[in-house]
Structure 1
Amino acid sequence: MGLDIQSKLLQVLGLAKDHASIGKAFVQNYNEKGFFDIEVAVVRATSHDDSPIDDKTMHEILFFVSNTPGSVPFLAERISRRLAKTRDCSVALKSLLLIHRLLRGGSRVIEQQLHIAHASGHLQMGCSWFLRNPDQSFVFLQNYAAYLQERVEWIINQAGKLEPNMTGGGTKFRHYKERSMDLVFHILPKCQEFIDKVLKCSPPNTLPVENLVQVSICTILKESFQVYMTYSDGIAMLVNMFFDLSRPARALACKMLRKAAKQSQDLRELYERCRGCVGEKSLDYPSVQDITMDHIIALEQCTNPNPASSSLRRSNKGGEQVSRVSPSSPFFSPMETKISTVWVVFE
């Protein structure tokens, strides 16, 4: 009973602070109505209660930002300041949720400007005061902030899918092999970094999961489903091109596969846990594929210069060494026919 009264008093005090912040914004920005509207909307979106950010307030922020030139750095600074000054868990979590919704629901211009604001320091999501509180909610806040710091490095492409933000507007590939190598050695490591941040955002052990935490976890899960599709494509492509790689590249590939084996197991466990405690019925969980250590060891033997691995090699008529997987290997399968696009002149 005492705790209920205390929480209500804290909420009333927090709402009074919100009104004071709105009054302060009016005094500071009365000559710049667009900036005043943005600051007031930020305070309302991150108010001292446990209700999610309503769509009306979100649309207002997007409208004001779209119609006020140069307002994205201002918006980023106001959210960052709100996050740094508060000691209220709900306000902090709603500030992070506001950043997340802006990354997902804004225009491509706003998305890119938020990326620039983060790189320039206008948008800051890490707060040291999270670390000083051992409570599970604050641990989740710190992990969610770390996730968003990775998320701001990704963009939503024209197909509505997440992809890493490529400096210079992306890379154009002339050949399928070039695109495959980029997916494997550039995008796949980024996917693994992304999945690492997702895995740390596991729901707190306390049940039931709070409303705001559920909203943030649902958004994280939806984005992880998209990234996992690219992730699994990259793993399949890596295995397919493995025997065409140089020895140093094979060693790097095996390192990536070992990490993928651990991440796949952890991701499956996270999804199973979220099915039980996150009450979102519309989530379409992907089927996480197994990557066994037996498979990886079989591939690692191909990079081992030890003569014992010679059973995995054979020579062609010209004496050139050609990779071969023995029938007992877990990767044994009929060879795939590849069609070359290079013209060859026969005598």
Structure 2
Amino acid sequence: MRLWKRVFGALKDQNSLLKARLVCHLTSGNPDIEKAIIKATSHDESYIDFRNTQSVFSWIRLSDENFQPTLSVISKRLEKTHNWVVALKGLMLMHGVFCCKVSSPHTIGHLPFDLSNFKHGHSESAKNWSFEAFVRSYYDFLEQKSMVLLHFSKQPNNNKTEEHLILQDLVCLHTLQLLLDTLLQIKPRYAAKSNTFVLEAMDCLVVESFDIYSRICDGIMSVLADIYSCGMTETSTMLTILEKATVQGVKLSQYLDFCRQMGVNNASECPKTEQIDETDLQDLEVLIEYTSDESEEMKSLVMDKKMMTKAHESNDSKGGLKAIITNEWDVFDEDDKEPD
């Protein structure tokens, strides 16, 4: 039965390639892009085609004109499939597109395909439910990530007061925290936990989780430097964000433990998650209390205390909130060469 499934999947991929050649010939499209995407998202359950995956990324980095055809082919491929292997490979490919370090993917918004109700096959089967659930949760994260990228791309900094910039930064921090919440919900179960493709996708998600948490930490440090001269609204919002970041630091550590037990390589190699300094929370609580009483003298004292604390922490490698550096990591190996 397994052999017949592989043969049937290979025939479907070959049929897709033949159709792609014909359609591209009639429409003057790019057959190389479509061929690479079909091969990168094949039905083959035995391996991931990294060569053609990298070719797709190389085409996108080569020219902005290649982005829309690439997105169109990926979308058509994922909208038609009822196979969890093709769906997962397609989502991993889409995740890599977001990491290509070009601006085009930041303008998508809602993804042009919908896997929120994905089902494997055309009949109910309890055997594949763990893979279906993983595909759906992965899709939910990428859909939200796409909307976040669009939101950030529309954030101009020109002609804005310092107060407006701080409010903008607070909104961005809240948005990133919601995105991290969604990612931390992605937990493979049962058969999916030991699958090669799922582990590969989790490798990408572990890197992503550290990147998001790092950006949250960097953003918090940046805002804290100016928050003590702001009003009640900004200060209260910052306190809420700090409290949530404290909880998320713990949840991220637990998530990485879960991934290590699964055998996710990047989870085993990542550093320890730094936690929020409790003094930041305490100082903000005091500041809010006295800001509500309009006590400028006490507010000034809190600011002076904070500046002294920061000056001390700059000489202490163990103190304060630290960003986690993941620059040497990437979701997929970068290859800036022109595709074959």
Same fold (TM over 0.5): yes
SS of match in other structure, 2:299: strand
Which shows bigger deviation, 80-89 or 285-294?
A: 285-294
Q: Secondary structure at the match of 1:185?
A: helix
Q: State the shift of 1:269 in Å.
A: 0.3
Q: Distance in 2 between matches of 1:171 and 1:239?
A: 19
| RMSD between aligned residues | 4.0
The equivalent residue for 1:158 is none
1:42 to 1:140, Cα distance in 2 relative to 1, 3 A? same
> Residues of 1 paired with 2:168 and 2:253: CA distance?
23
Quote the residue 1:235 is aligned against. Answer: 220
Q: Mark the CA change 1:66 to 1:35 in structure 2 (over 3 Å): closer, same or farther.
A: farther
Give the aligned partner of residue 112 of structure 2.
123
Contact 1:218-1:278 at 8 Å conserved across structures: no
CA distance in 2, matches of 1:8, 1:289: 48
2:299 to 322, 327, 337: 322
Which structure shows the higher helix fraction? Answer: 2
Work out which of the two has the higher radius of gyration on C-alpha atoms and give 1 or 2. 1
Match of 2:56 among 57, 61, 77: 61
CA distance in 2, matches of 1:335, 1:27: 68
Does residue 251 of the first structure (1) align with residue 245 of the second (2)? no
8 A contact 1:164–1:190 mirrored in 2: no
Residue in 2 aligned with 1:26?
21
Give the partner amino acid of 2:104: Q
Match of 1:90 among 81, 85, 100: 85
Paired residues in the alignment total 305
Measure, in 1, the Cα distance between the counterparts of 2:201 and 2:296: 56
Say which of 193, 204, 215 aligns to 2:189. Answer: 204
Whole-angstrom distance in 2 between the partners of 1:241 and 1:70: 42
1:210: Cα distance to partner? 1.1
Q: In structure 2, give the amino acid aligned to 1:322.
A: K
Which one of 19, 27, 46 corresponds to residue 41 of structure 2?
46
The aligned counterpart of 2:202 is 217
Alignment match, 1:167: 154
2:132 aligned partner: 138
Residue 215 of structure 1: how far off its partner (Å)? 1.2
The equivalent of 1:152 in structure 2 is 146
Distance in 2 (CA, whole Å) between partners of 1:35 and 1:7 is 34
Q: What is the deviation of 1:280?
A: 1.5
Contact residue 177 and residue 245 of structure 2 kept, 8 A:
yes
Higher relative contact order (CA 8 A, sep 6+): 2
Match for residue 226 of structure 1? 211
**Which residue number corresponds to residue 191 of structure 1?**
176
Q: Deviations over 1:87-137 (max 9, x none)?
A: 1111100011111222224x62xxx33333x23x67325442359988222
Name the TM-score, length of structure 2 as normaliser. 0.72
Residues 41, 89 of structure 2: 8 Å contact kept: yes
Residues in 2 aligned to 1:248 and 1:190: alpha-carbon distance in whole angstroms: 17
SS of residue matched to 2:7: helix
Structure 2 Cα separation of the partners of residues 275 and 323 of structure 1: 46
**CA 1:125–1:104 in structure 2 vs 1: closer, same or farther (change >3 Å)?**
farther
Q: CA–CA distance in 2 between the matches of 1:240 and 1:122? A: 36
1:302-328 superposed Cα distances (whole Å, 9 cap, x missing partner): 43589xx98xx9774xxxx53556xxx
SS in 2 for 1:224: helix
Q: Is the 8 A contact 1:44 1:57 kept in 2?
A: yes
- Unpaired runs of 5+ residues, structure 1, are 1-5, 156-162, 326-330, 338-347
Distance 1:280 1:233 in 2: 25
> Which residue does 2:325 correspond to in 1?
none
What TM-score results when the alignment is normalised by the length of structure 1?
A: 0.71
State the 1:292 CA deviation. Answer: 8.0
Is 95-104 or 26-35 further displaced after alignment?
Answer: 26-35
Distance 1:63 1:239 in 2: 39
- Could you list the runs of 5+ residues in structure 2 that have no partner in the other structure? 312-340
